[in-house]
Amino acid sequence: MLKVVVKEGENIDRALKRYKRKFRNVKILQELRQRKHFTKPSVAKRAQVQKAAYVEQKFKTED
């Protein structure tokens, strides 16, 4: 469970922004979406390899 302590005199919008950032960093929503349907291990591995190749290619073009 995520907890955000609101400090004395802190704006509620700022606390809400911190909560949203924590929620996004914990990746709860992403995990829920992944659990909605089954992905075969071979498909997941292939997607991971493709993503790694894409990121590597992107960094090569930057240099």
pLDDT digit string, tens, across residues 10-63: 999 999 999 999 999 999 888 999 899 999 999 999 999 999 999 999 999 876
Dist CA 40 CA 38 (whole Å): 6
1: confidence class by pLDDT, cuts 50, 70, 90: confident
For the chain, domain boundaries: 12-62
CB 15 within 8 A of CB 6: yes
pLDDT at 2: 85
